[in-house]
Amino acid sequence: MGEKKHDEPSVVTASHHDTLTSVLGSKDGAMKSIVYSYKHGFSGFAAMLTESQAEELAKLPEVVSVKPNTYHKAHTTRSWDFLGLNYYEQSGLVKKANYGEDVIVGVIDSGIWPESGSFDDNGYGPLPARWKGKCHTGVAFNTTGCNRKIIGARWYSGGIPDKWLKGEYMSPRDFNGHGTHTASTIAGKQMWNVSHHQSGLGAGLARGGAPRARLAIYKACWGTRGVCSTATVLAAVDDAIKDGVDVLSLSLALDSEIPGTLHAVARGITVVFAGGNAGPVPQTVANTAPWVITVAAATIDRTFPTVISLGNNEKLVGQSLYYNATASSSKFHLLVGGSSCNAENMASINVTGNVVLCPGPYNRNQETIGLMAQAGAKGLIFFQHTTVNILEILDACNGIMPCVVVDYESVNRIVSYATNTSTPVVMVSPAVTVVGSGVLSPRVAAFSSRGPSSNFPGILKPDVAAPGVSILAAVGNSYEFMSGTSMACPHVSAVVALLKSVHPDWSPAMIKSAIITTASVTDRFGMPIQAEGSPRKVADPFDLGGGHIEPDKAIDPGLVYDIDPREYTKFFNCSLDPKDDCESYMGQLYQLNLPSIAVPDLKNSVTVWRTVTNVGGPEATYRVAVEAPAGVNVVVEPPVITFARGGSQSATFRVMFTARQRVQGGYTFGSLTWLDESAHWVRIPVAVRTIIQDFVSDTA
């Protein structure tokens, strides 16, 4: 995707037709082949081509690159209080930002359910004069679907296979609830007395982080699975640039970079992406372009315990979302399902009237749960394997019967009771909501994708962590819990909207830096944040980037690491079409002025340069504090930087990394922090891997 050669969109589209005509042989064929013409923020197109036609197109001198269309999946009350965003504190970010008043957030997702109370526009003024978007209509969505809150809505189905469009609304209306959930997390108005499926779980006030922001909806994801294509997402990004959004929120984990997002950033639009739900496996983080904010998911201080009462009066505690108090008040026979509770094994067992224990770690899927319910099971108890998204298991029961997740110790105690009792019985009580300091939080969620980046190891990803587990937000006319980095992403998008309101002159890089450098690496007990997995461990930068987001601190970061989007051009070109000089450049991506440092190939020594800009008081002195990665010496010059009134408010420093011993090792981690006397603590994460040789061919 290249820069536009002409400001008139029709001329850009005509050039796309001409290019296709030269390959297909006729203007009519070109017009029929093209699916999307990207003509507003950047120049490019999506077209239906054979493999040979694509190869011929790629040979044309005006073509930067040709890529196949790929498909991706969308990755959803208490969380804002947990982050300390107090609506009424005069000195807080929300108040200073006037609740995000008139900041326009573009949400590229599965659409919107406009009737939700979260999107009521009562009290809103006229649309911002800079807004140039449209309200597209379609099935079950007319112009009344837009208002002064949802100020625009578009939809893109070209390039999506028919099987994923079956039963869908061919309009901006949300079919699966994902887009409505993320949009209401960003900018939903305050809604009192809501809870998960109105069950009482998680009851309280639901609100968006920037409740006075405006929403622009771009439906690019379809079906129950929320499938999006590169073509539809690019079309949405292109329109969003033209429409005039300030922030783009994409709760999508793409396996390839979306080049159009660089053009958005170049126009001052901050782009926020979900990091993916493939954790805790390393090198699974998605959306690793250096100009976007990539978000990991973390827990909040809320759990939903339920009591399991055994027939011997022993009581155990698990996690559940079951809320039918009447159905849970009886004791049922306890049946141990064996090492596997899959559909095949359970077909030979009579589960009718039984609560079934599935002690193995790989026994959970919606098909099995559905079959159990149809067979008359009265409940399911699962072993909590930490690599699994627990909420998906519990939600699969959908209120039809108790599903409880317990730890390994509880499984052993239940099995012991069942095997040593002639007629074991069990009663599962309704879940309750527990909130507060007694809940260890935040923790990086097990499902949250981990670094390092497999494509660009010199760029440290993810960037930051945010709440993404059991987040309550709007779905249709109700409210539901969802979990995923998809839910973490809109939390950061809302904070970006607030920061843009307070600092309208800040670039996307400055906003990104403020968020990363003020993030916390300690939990609510002052201990290092933990990362869930097998086993649980202290979180490192490949789990949570700079740390867990601290919105109120980001308003005054002291120093920021800014970067001109033009500095990304070389990276952009090399990632699309590697040239002879790209290998050397891509091997030194750590020289980009990012608020993090990742050196993936330290053989002897490397010098990394960074420039900081003072956005605090005009007179300030900062001193450096370094936590060196194990096995590496780190020297920062100069160790002190001073800013004077009337002088330059930028300072450049160098960081010299030297391997203390020649070993082929894994990554080790540290940090570099600038501190002043005004309580600014400007911290960036550091990851270094020492190596002996670059390639096998080096050994002879």
Residue positions annotated with a catalytic role = 109, 178, 486
* CA–CA distance, 586 with 574 (Å, rounded to integer): 8
Total residue count of the chain as it appears in this document: 700
Question: Any idea what DSSP says for residue 88?
Answer: T
CA 612, 615, 618, 619 dihedral sign is negative
Q: Is the CB of residue 320 less than 8 Å from the CB of residue 431? A: yes
HEC string of 61-87 equals CCCCCCCCCCEEEECCCHHHHHCCCCC
d(CA 539, CA 593): 24
Distance CA 626, CA 630 (A): 12
Residue 70 tokens read as: 């790929």
Residue 3: what are its φ and ψ, rounded to 5°? -65, 150
**374-to-259, 343, 377, 379, 403 alpha-carbon distances in Å:** 47, 12, 8, 12, 15
Helix axes 178-187, 485-502, angle to 10 degrees: 30
> Coil, helix or strand for 648?
coil
Contact 433, 304 (CB under 8 A): yes
Count other Cβ atoms within 10 Å, centred on residue 687.
23
Closest CA to 600 of 698, 453, 450, 457: 457
On whether the CB atoms of residues 115 and 136 are closer than 8 A, the answer is no
CA distances from 464 to 296, 300, 551 (A): 6, 15, 12
- DSSP secondary-structure letter at 212? T
Tokens of 312: 């011997």
**DSSP strand pairing (214-219 vs 104-109):** parallel
384 phi, psi to nearest 5 deg: -80, 100
46: left (phi over 0), alpha (psi -120 to 50) or beta: beta
Give the per-residue SS3 of 426-470.
EEECCCCCEECCCCCCCEECCCCCCCCCCCCCCCCCCCEEEECCC
Residue 13 φ/ψ, nearest 5 degrees: -65, -40
Pairing state between β 104-109 and 150-155: unpaired
Are 272 and 493 in contact by the 8 Å Cβ rule? The answer is: yes
CA 689 to chain centre: 26
Question: Dihedral of the CA atoms 655, 660, 663, 668 (nearest 10)?
Answer: -50
Could you tell me whether strands 270-274 and 247-250 are parallel, antiparallel, or unpaired per DSSP bridges? Answer: parallel
